[in-house]
A = this chain, B = another copy of it.
Amino acid sequence: MDSQSLIAQARSGQPRAIARLISRIENDAPDLPQIMGQLSATAGSAHVIGVTGSPGVGKSTTTAALVGAYRARGAKVGVLAVDPSSPFSGGALLGDRVRMQQHATDDQVFIRSMASRGHLGGLAATTPQVLRVLDAAGFDVVVIETVGVGQSEIEIAATADTSLVLLAPGMGDGIQAAKAGILEIGDVFVVNKADRDGADSTAREIRHMLELGVRGQWLPPVIKTVASTGVGIDELVDAIESHRQWLHDSGERQARRLRRIGDEIIALTLTGVRKQLATMPAEVLAAAQRVLDGMSDPYAEAAALAAKLTT
């Protein structure tokens, strides 16, 4: 199908057209710049919610519960599940699929798994573009679920309007949370599996550490949930909506979007350089061999490589 028809069908919300456009982004199709140029003009209204946290805290279950809650409020919801692309799993994992099954037949819900590895430039380069497609397709809310806490997740947090950080009781104390670097990236904190021992003390400890480190006007709330039974999910959605309202009223929403677009432009520029370097394996190997042989050093070789780039 030609790009024009695809774009038109995606704008009218047809899932297959949306999926195909996202595939073109993942495959770095040659006409991507043109497609993105046409989508840009209409994009910018979906509220993007990032869901991060260590494996096992219940991100998939919470994401599924959020989708249900937003659907109940009449919103059209997109879900991007960012998986490490594993040779064992072939991308999307059964666990997620099972949990998301209840929403799979709802045409107001679009679910997509994305591989976090193997992308030149990582998620920073592709996620904003996928968001642009979903935005143009009229989704009110897009939930991005990520795996673990690391560089990709920090990138996702920079991409989201509202970043949720999930914790579970007994997964480690406040020092572990600080160590994982998650205190700074959350707009809303969720202590999931709150029916377990220690939920109150985990919530209290996180609250305390957040109060010590409060930046700006927004003090992130800490919500206790049991996502598997739906306990606390309405409170969580209310907290997200409060943050959304605050972003709008404070002007922070516009500031974040501008920053996000700037980050995207930088990521695309770096991707272009990475792509060029990827076409030069023989040069890189020869340079590495000279360093290994003690004939040169990595800095000199990097400078020589940079001089071969055409911009």
Residues of A within 8 A of B (CB): 32-33, 36-37, 40-41, 44, 54-56, 83-89, 93-95, 116-117, 122, 128-129, 147-154, 171-172, 175-181, 183-184, 209, 212-213, 215, 257-259, 261-262, 264-266, 268-274, 277, 284-285, 287-289, 291-292, 294, 296-303, 305-309, 311
Contacts and interface: CB of A to CB of B under 8 A. Distances in A.
A83 B54 CA distance: 16
A300 B55 contact: no
Nearest to A56: B172
A37 B299 contact: yes
Contact of A265 (B148, B150, B302, B309): B302
A128 B167 CA distance: 33
B95 A297 contact: no
A179 B95 contact: yes
Contacts of A307: 311
Nearest to A305: B269
Contacts of A148: 54, 148-150, 180-181
Q: Give the most central of A88, A176, A183: most B CB within 10 Å.
A: A88
B55 A55 contact: no
B37 A261 contact: no
Contact of A36 (B83, B116, B178, B298): B298
A179 B83 contact: yes
A297 B117 contact: no
A181 B147 contact: yes
Given A89-B175, A117-B154, A269-B273, 5 more contacts: A33-B297, A55-B176, A95-B175, A270-B270, A270-B277
A83 to B, nearest CB: 6
B272 A306 contact: yes
A213 B84 contact: no
Contacts of A33: 297, 299-300, 303
A89 B292 CA distance: 38
A264 B292 CA distance: 12
Contacts of A264: 298
A288 B306 contact: no
Contact of A171 (B55, B147, B273, B299): B55
Q: List the 9 closest A-B pairs by CB distance, nearest first.
A: A150-B150, A84-B181, A151-B151, A33-B299, A268-B302, A37-B297, A56-B172, A261-B288, A262-B288
Given A151-B122, A180-B55, A277 B287 contact: no
Contacts of A41: 294
